[in-house]
Amino acid sequence: MTHMPARGFESYEGTTVNLDDRPTTGAPSTVSSIPLSEPGVKSNGEQSIGHLVKNASAQVSTLVRAEVALAKAEAIEEAKKAAIGSILTIIAGVIALYASFFFFYFIGELLSEWLPRWASFGIVFLILLVITIAAAIGGVILFKKITGPKKTIASVKETSQILPGKGDHSATGEHASSSGSKGASATK
């Protein structure tokens, strides 16, 4: 015959424990159950499907957040390069516009002491043109150094190869439905 314990008492395998006895060491008055196995793990040691899906979705979420953070970091780095290239190109234009008028007029007048006036101002114009071209080439070189987010692209490709069914359109039937709609529209 089973014996029902009185209020305040719990019975475990024939042993009666009084939960109302308050320890003097400051420990809590309630006893929480101590699981003998990890939550979500079956008795044979395998994890349940729900636990596996929960873990997989958490890991995919973490992976996506890491991919976004990597893309942001690379984009910021490339934007800094683009800003520096733009600033150098603008500086080259401003210098070519303002300084050329005053400084190169002086050089033209100075050269006209030894050469005909037309030749001296022709030389000044060529010097101005060379400086402008050099600054523009420097800006173009900096713009060409700007690259896409290579690490992010490589990581996304690696992730798509690891995850089953991702990037494989034949498994979802996407190509079949799109080609079927083309055939249906061609017959109309």
Tens digit of pLDDT for each residue in 27-47? 555 555 555 555 555 556 577
What is the tens place of the pLDDT at every residue in 154-183?
Answer: 888 888 788 766 555 544 444 444 444 444
Bridge partner list, 16: 11
Is 183 within a domain? no
**73-91: b (≥16 Cβ within 10 Å) or e:** ebeeeeeeeeeebeebbee
Cβ-contact 4, 10 below 8 angstroms: no
Residue 114 counted as domain residue: yes
Whether 9 maps to a domain, the answer reads no
Domain containing 145 equals 49-163
| Helix ranges (DSSP H) in the chain | 49-94, 100-111, 117-144, 150-162, 169-172, 174-187
Domain contains 119: yes
* pTM metric for this prediction: 0.33
Is 87 contained in some domain? yes
* Residue type present at position 125: F
186 located within any domain? no
